[in-house]
């Protein structure tokens, strides 16, 4: 049965008619415990969802919807290793990547935990050797710079986490990330590096991705040029992370230096696979294990907690409430942490590549809205850019505000002049202003001229979640990412879509391969595309002097 045809969906539609227009001011006034009751915890994470346009009854109805959608059964099927990615006939087992147990899960005839721990052990010994200076380059120099070459899921996770966990990283090793096929990316990342002390980690699940292989080839050229052309240098300066040993070998990387993973790890869910190798080099194997344990804590919470106390599931269900009953189309993620500057970008792939779908598992078109446009920037910077629209625009934008009670130990014990408290006061103020706003009477009471009053009225009733952890650590970062992974899963199950394929990105790749020769050919190419593309090809060729 379609989710929209279930009594649970209809009950929510009816309920929306009753409470959808209610103002958060009134909901708070009527329920004095709201701010302390509409709260859940998972591991170190505290979610306050009281500033959402819902009541306790809404949460009860959303939990019933989760049951009607089979969320419990689908979750168990995923954790058991069933092929829940039906269009690719694959298990979806990123949760096994962080399971501390070393045996027990047999999937398609493989002891998954044992294989995971074997790779983790090799990664740890590699990371230790690089960090300790034991792994040397071709000329015997120790490694001072690690450049991860990968894109999408083979870049965003470790790149985001490396930035997030800088405070925990080995500062004597520079770690950089190159993803874009724009030649500027690799050129800028390598311009001040010495080939003799640089190690490239080429990360690609398929090892066929145009951007990654092109950058890797160019990196190899740069290395060999810098080291006098001796091909044997490649073995000392290139490692690979992939599921495709054959392609790695064809590229010329010694498979001794390859760290594998499996087809049951989706690209955007691969951060805790060997794709995290560059991060492990930066923060060390122990911190990396803390990160995995953080993920695991939330995996177990998601698997076992009842929906009404289940932090990731609640986030997913609340978003369904907005997308399908209020008609919202975007979700802002606003970390009050400069370290989490790349977190929204990471979530864009996780959420939008997963749930940007319009057919159900059985191939029939969806009849409810799915997916959301995820965007955001760290506070307080965003406050001086786009928050105006959140406060007084005509669009309803649910927002997740993220913060940490303690700052990282940047000043090594020095008093930071109360900066972190000032920072957090903004984290408190913005959701409060969004929720409760300012009435015309309140504005007028300040002595504002009557004709200016309407411009200063803040309508309020803009919903948000607050997610707080004690401190940004490897563990809390893992808990946060796992939370959003399971939020995505929850949404996908309710919408009845496959959150684990991404056929939509393929067509553009095929077309790019067809168009590349038109830009590169010596003579005039066939102008056989559409009239717009033909004109742009002409323009770009002329611009490049062809």
Query: Catalytic positions, please?
Result: 353, 384, 509
* Residue environment code for 284-320, b if the CB has 16+ CB neighbours within 10 A, otherwise e: bbebbbbbbbbbbbbbbbbeebebeebbbbbbbbbbb
Please identify, using beta-carbon distances, which residue of 204 and 380 lies nearer to ligand F6P.
204
Told to check if 505 binds ligand F6P by CB under 6 A, we report yes
CA distances from 239 to 4, 137, 248, 518 (A): 49, 12, 9, 34
Cβ-proximal residue to ligand F6P, closest one: 267
- Of 53, 237, 268, 487, the one binding ligand F6P (CB under 6 A) is 268
Told to check if 272 binds ligand F6P by CB under 6 A, we report no
In the beta sheet, which residues pair with residue 373? 330
Please identify, using beta-carbon distances, which residue of 212 and 355 lies nearer to ligand F6P.
212
Q: Which stretch binds ligand F6P (CB under 6 A): 66-74, 80-88, 113-121, 148-156?
A: 148-156
* Residue environment code for 504-530, b if the CB has 16+ CB neighbours within 10 A, otherwise e: eeeeeeeeeeebeebeeeeeebeeebe
Instruction: Tell me how far, at minimum, the Cβ of 517 lies from ligand F6P, in Å.
Output: 22
Token pair recorded at residue 237: 């300066």
Say how far apart CA 529 and CA 533 lie, in whole Å. 6
Q: Which stretch binds ligand F6P (CB under 6 A): 55-63, 150-158, 250-258, 312-320?
A: 150-158
Look up residue 502 and give its DSSP letter: -
Other beta carbons within 10 angstroms of residue 259's beta carbon come to 22
Instruction: Tell me how far, at minimum, the Cβ of 502 lies from ligand F6P, in Å.
Output: 5
Please identify, using beta-carbon distances, which residue of 153 and 376 lies nearer to ligand F6P.
153
Closest CA to 232 of 252, 248, 249, 250: 252
Told to check if 354 binds ligand F6P by CB under 6 A, we report no
Interface of this chain with ligand F6P, residues 151 to 180, rule: CB under 6 A: 151-154
Interface of this chain with ligand F6P, residues 198 to 237, rule: CB under 6 A: 204-206, 209, 212
Q: Which residues contact 32 (CB under 8 A, 6 or more apart)?
A: none
Please identify, using beta-carbon distances, which residue of 274 and 435 lies nearer to ligand F6P.
274
Please identify, using beta-carbon distances, which residue of 440 and 505 lies nearer to ligand F6P.
505
Contact at 8 Å (CB) between 167 and 196?
no
Instruction: Tell me how far, at minimum, the Cβ of 206 lies from ligand F6P, in Å.
Output: 3
Contact at 8 Å (CB) between 278 and 171?
no
Q: Cα torsion at 242, 232, 211, 87 (round to 10°)?
A: -20
Interface of this chain with ligand F6P, residues 284 to 303, rule: CB under 6 A: none
Instruction: Tell me how far, at minimum, the Cβ of 503 lies from ligand F6P, in Å.
Output: 10
Please identify, using beta-carbon distances, which residue of 470 and 504 lies nearer to ligand F6P.
504
* Residue environment code for 350-379, b if the CB has 16+ CB neighbours within 10 A, otherwise e: bbbbbbbbeebeeeeebebbbbbebbbbbb
Say how far apart CA 426 and CA 439 lie, in whole Å. 21
Interface of this chain with ligand F6P, residues 366 to 425, rule: CB under 6 A: none
Instruction: Tell me how far, at minimum, the Cβ of 123 lies from ligand F6P, in Å.
Output: 17
Instruction: Tell me how far, at minimum, the Cβ of 227 lies from ligand F6P, in Å.
Output: 26
Instruction: Tell me how far, at minimum, the Cβ of 202 lies from ligand F6P, in Å.
Output: 9
Token pair recorded at residue 192: 């001040």
With contacts defined by CB under 6 A, how many residues of the chain interact with ligand F6P? 14
Please identify, using beta-carbon distances, which residue of 268 and 487 lies nearer to ligand F6P.
268
Binding stretches for ligand F6P (CB under 6 A): 151-154, 204-206, 209, 212, 267-268, 353, 502, 505
């Amino acid at each position: 049965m379609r989710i929209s045809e279930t009594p649970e969906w209809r009950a929510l539609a009816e309920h929306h008619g009753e409470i959808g227009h209610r103002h958060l001011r009134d909901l708070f006034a009527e329920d004095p415990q709201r701010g302390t009751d509409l709260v859940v915890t998972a591991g170190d994470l505290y979610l306050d969802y009281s500033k959402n346009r819902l009541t306790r009854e809404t949460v009860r109805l959303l939990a019933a919807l989760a049951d009607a959608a089979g969320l419990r059964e689908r979750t168990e099927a995923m954790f058991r290793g069933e092929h829940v990615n039906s269009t690719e006939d694959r298990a979806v087992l990123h949760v096994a990547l962080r399971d501390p147990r070393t045996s027990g899960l047999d999937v398609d005839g493989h002891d998954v935990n044992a294989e995971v721990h074997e790779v983790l052990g090799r990664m740890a010994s590699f990371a230790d050797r690089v960090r300790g200076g034991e792994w040397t380059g071709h000329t015997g120099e120790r490694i001072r710079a690690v450049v991860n070459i990968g894109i999408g899921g083979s870049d965003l996770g470790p790149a985001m986490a490396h930035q997030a966990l800088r405070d925990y990283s080995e500062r004597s090793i520079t770690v950089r990330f190159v993803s874009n096929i724009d030649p500027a990316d690799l050129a800028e990342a390598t311009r001040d590096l010495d080939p003799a002390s640089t190690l490239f980690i080429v990360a690609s699940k398929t090892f066929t991705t145009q951007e990654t292989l092109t950058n890797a080839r160019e990196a190899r050229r740069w290395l060999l040029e810098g080291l006098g052309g001796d091909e044997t240098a490649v073995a000392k300066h290139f490692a690979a992370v992939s599921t495709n040993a054959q392609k790695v070998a064809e590229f010329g990387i010694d498979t001794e230096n390859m760290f594998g993973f499996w087809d049951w790890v989706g690209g955007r869910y691969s951060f805790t696979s060997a794709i995290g190798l560059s991060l492990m080099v930066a923060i060390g194997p122990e911190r990396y294990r803390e990160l995995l344990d953080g993920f695991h804590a939330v995996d177990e919470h998601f698997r076992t907690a009842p929906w009404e106390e289940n932090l990731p599931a609640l986030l997913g269900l609340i978003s369904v409430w907005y997308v399908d009953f209020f008609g919202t189309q975007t979700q802002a993620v606003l970390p009050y942490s400069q370290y989490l500057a790349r977190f929204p970008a990471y979530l864009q792939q996780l959420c939008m590549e997963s749930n940007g779908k319009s057919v159900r598992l059985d191939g029939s078109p969806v009849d409810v809205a799915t997916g959301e446009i995820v965007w955001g920037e760290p506070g307080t910077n965003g406050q001086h850019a786009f928050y105006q629209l959140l406060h007084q625009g005509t669009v309803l934008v649910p927002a997740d505000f993220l913060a940490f009670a303690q700052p990282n130990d940047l000043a090594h014990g020095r008093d930071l002049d109360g900066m972190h408290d000032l920072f957090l006061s903004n984290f408190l103020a913005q959701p409060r202003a969004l929720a409760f706003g300012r009435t015309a009477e309140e504005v007028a009471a300040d002595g504002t001229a009557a004709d200016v009053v309407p411009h200063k009225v803040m309508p309020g009733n803009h919903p948000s979640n607050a997610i707080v952890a004690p401190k940004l650590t490897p563990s809390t970062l893992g808990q946060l990412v796992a939370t959003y992974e399971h939020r995505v899963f929850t949404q996908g199950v309710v919408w009845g879509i496959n959150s684990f394929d991404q056929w939509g990105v393929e067509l553009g790749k095929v077309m790019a391969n067809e168009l590349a020769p038109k830009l590169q050919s010596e003579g005039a190419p066939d102008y056989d595309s559409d009239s717009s593309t033909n004109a742009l090809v002409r323009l770009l060729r002329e611009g490049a002097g062809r």
